[in-house]
Structures are given as structure tokens and as C-alpha cells.
Chains A and B, each alone.
Chain A
Amino acid sequence: MAFTLYSLLQAALLCVNAIAVLHEERFLKNIGWGTDQGIGGFGEEPGIKSQLMNLIRSVRTVMRVPLIIVNSITIVLLLLFG
């Protein structure tokens, strides 16, 4: 059972990095997941797709700076300790 907390941390970091590199203009708009393309209705149920788009947008906005810091630390630690 090699599934440890450390590997969970690594997987989480990689996932957040993956969400952060989705390019707004070149990719998200082309598949209709841009930030200005979905949040139209003010009804009661936002729907899964608009919730997902909201989530992606908020993760990209909030985690931009912390990701820089955490990535730098991870790079340095991995270079030093393998």
C-alpha cells in the first residue's frame, strides 16, 4: 500500500498546477468554458457546468501566487533531496 499522505500532496499539487495552466483565450474559450460565457442565468440552479467553470476561474485566480511559492519550494527540495 504505497498510497501515502505525501503522494496525495504531490497529486494535489500537480492537479492544481494543471488547472492553473489552462489558458483562457486559446483553450477555454474554444471549448465554451470561458469566464464570460456561462454565467448568464440568475435562476436558482447554476448547473454543474457553470459551477465547474466558476471553480476553475476561482482556483486560477486564488492559487496563482501561492502556486509560484509552493512550486519554487518543491523544485528546490526535489533538486536537493531527490
Chain B
Amino acid sequence: YRVGALEFRGVHCVGMPGPASKRRVPVSQAGMTDPHQLFDDTSSDQSRCYGAQRASGDLGYPTTTSSPQADFLAHPVSNMAVAYGSSLAAQGKELVDKNIDRFIPVTKLKYYFAVDTVYVGKKLGLLVFPYLHQDWEVQYQQDTPVAPRFDVNAPDLYIPAMAFITYILVAGLALGTQDRFSPDLLGLQASSALAWLTLEVMAILLSLYLVTVNTDLTTIDLVAFLGYKYVGMIGGVLMGLLFGKIGYYLVLGWCCVSIFVFMIRTLRLKILAEAAAEGVPVRGARNQLRMYLTMAVAAAQPLLMYWLTFHLVR
């Protein structure tokens, strides 16, 4: 990618920020060879552009001195001040970047948002119709899981976050059509859904700890998987608004079964994987317990989907 960027530099930095599409071509070709490159890197081109612009501007100023501002900017002391100010800003930015990683794992979160339209489309299709999908393994590349935009099985946080917000808005819409709406109800819906999500995450983490499952299922992964049910909930409520209770029950039933199958197939690989991959004769009771845990987690999804939406459709 770096070679491609250097090649394009002459074309882009004449004076306008060039079209981004030209920069994307080398990335997509070289995408699979650089797993740590989650997003297109536009910073280096931009700074080079600014540097070229500023250099040409500074060269131009002494020759067209007709205004006091140009004199002020050409003064060597103000040049130093500009340099000092920009270095201060860079230091401050570094400090913030270093410290914010202690509270919010920004780099880890970035992985979950590295999605593109094709991935979102395929994932939504998978959430509604998971029956024909064969391979549920997440591809790994040099010990790290591949970013979601390269593998449809990888969990992401974009769809759950968007679906959550859409659910709040659709709930407001549904309440509005029944003349039960007031603005604080929106906050109440959001708080309630978040509280259920937190409770689910804590319950699953507790049961994973009690059953001593050694998985690579991180908390954020778990939040991502549990957030996928909002998609089905949105579908159900929208159908309920359009076609009444029958439409709501039909679509909700379909989405409940799909989410159930989706969760079982995904969690089976995470929770039960190492038991099957070890090749050791599996202790029956422990494996059975893990299977029960997977089924319980998957069965809780339809229940919660119904519980969080039935009061919205009358």
C-alpha cells in the first residue's frame, strides 16, 4: 500500500484532496496481506498534501506582500511560533491517545467497527436466514482473527449498535402510533434494553466462569453476539406496525428461530470447540454441561426478543 500511495502522491497533492476512490484500489488488492490495517490510511497523504500546500504558499507570500497579514506570517518569529504551537498540539494529542487507551480499549474496539457494506449485507442475511451457511469458523491470520470486513463470521459491533438505536427509534414510532408516546419513554426504553443486555452479559460470564470453560470468547465478542437479536426485534415491530399482530407474530417467530440457530452454530464453535479439537476422550458430564449452557444462552434470545417487544404492538 505504501508504494501505491507514493505513486499517487504527485497526482493528488496539487491543491485539492484527491478522490478517495483512487487510493482504495491498492488497499483492496493488498488488504489480505496486512491484517493489522483495519482502515484505509489517509493520514500520510493528507499531511503530505498540507505540506505541499503550505510550502507553495510560503514561497508565494514574500513575492506578493501587499497586506500586513502576509508580513506577519513571513516574520521568522511567527514561523517559530507556528512550529512551536503545532508541536505542542502534537504532544497533547499523543498524551490523550496514550491515556485514553487505559480506560476504553480503543484499538480493540476499532477491530469491531472495521466493516463495509458487503459485510453488513451478508451478515444481516445470515441473521435472518442462517440455514444454508456451511462454514462458521472465523478465519485467523497470524494469530489474530481477521477483521470483519474480510470474513462474514467475525463478530462486529456496528450492527448491534445501529440495531439498538434503530430499536429505540422504532419503539418510539410504535408508541407514537398508539398515542402513548412521551419523550422520557424513549429514555426508559433505552435504559431497559441496556439493563437487560448488561444482565445477560453478566449472567453468561458468571456461568462461563462456573463451568470453567476456557474460551477465547471475550466480553466484547459476547456483547456483539447478544446485540444481534435487536435486528429481529426491529423486523418484528415494523411488521407489527404494518400488518397488526399476525404480522408481528409471524416475523418475530421466524426471527426467533433464526437467531436461535445462529447463536447455537456460533457459540458451539466458541464454547465447545476446544473439547472437540483436543481429540482427548471428552468427559461426558462436562461436555454435556457446556452444551446445556449453549442451549440456554440461545434459548434466552427468543425470550428476550419477545419480552422487549410485545408491549409495543397492540
Contacts and interface: CB of A to CB of B under 8 A. Distances in A.
B196 interface: yes
B209 A4 contact: no
Q: Which of B189, B192, B194, B199 has the most CB of A within 10 A?
A: B192
A29 B96 CA distance: 51
Nearest to A48: B210
Contact of B209 (A6, A7, A8, A55): A55
A19 B234 CA distance: 39
A1 B210 contact: no
Interface residues of A, number: 14
Contacts, number: 34
Contacts of B273: none
Q: Which of A2, A3, A52 has the most CB of B within 10 A?
A: A3
Given A45-B283, A51-B210, A8 B188 contact: no
Given A5-B198, A8-B198, A45-B283, A51 B191 contact: no
B195 A8 contact: yes
Interface in A1-60: 1-8, 45-46, 48, 51-52, 55
Contacts of A4: 188, 191-192, 195
Interface in B161-190: 188-189
Contacts of A52: 210
B212 A1 contact: no
B210 A8 contact: no
Interface residues of B, number: 16
Contacts of B98: none
B124 interface: no
B212 A45 contact: yes
B209 A1 contact: no
A21 B191 CA distance: 30
Nearest to A51: B210
B32 to A, nearest CB: 39
Nearest to B185: A1
Contacts of B188: 1-2, 4
Q: Which of B196, B210, B311 has the most CB of A within 10 A?
A: B210
A1 B191 CA distance: 10
Contacts of A1: 188-189, 192, 311
B191 A5 contact: yes
A29 to B, nearest CB: 22
A48 B286 CA distance: 10
Q: Enumerate the 5 nearest inter-chain pairs by beta-carbon distance, A residue then B residue, closest first.
A: A4-B191, A1-B192, A8-B195, A5-B195, A51-B210
Interface of B: 188-189, 191-192, 194-196, 198-199, 209-212, 283, 286, 311
Interface of A: 1-8, 45-46, 48, 51-52, 55
Given A2-B188, A45-B283, A51-B212, 19 more contacts: A1-B189, A2-B192, A3-B192, A3-B196, A4-B188, A4-B191, A4-B192, A5-B194, A5-B195, A5-B198, A6-B191, A7-B195, A8-B195, A8-B198, A8-B199, A51-B209, A51-B210, A55-B209, A55-B210
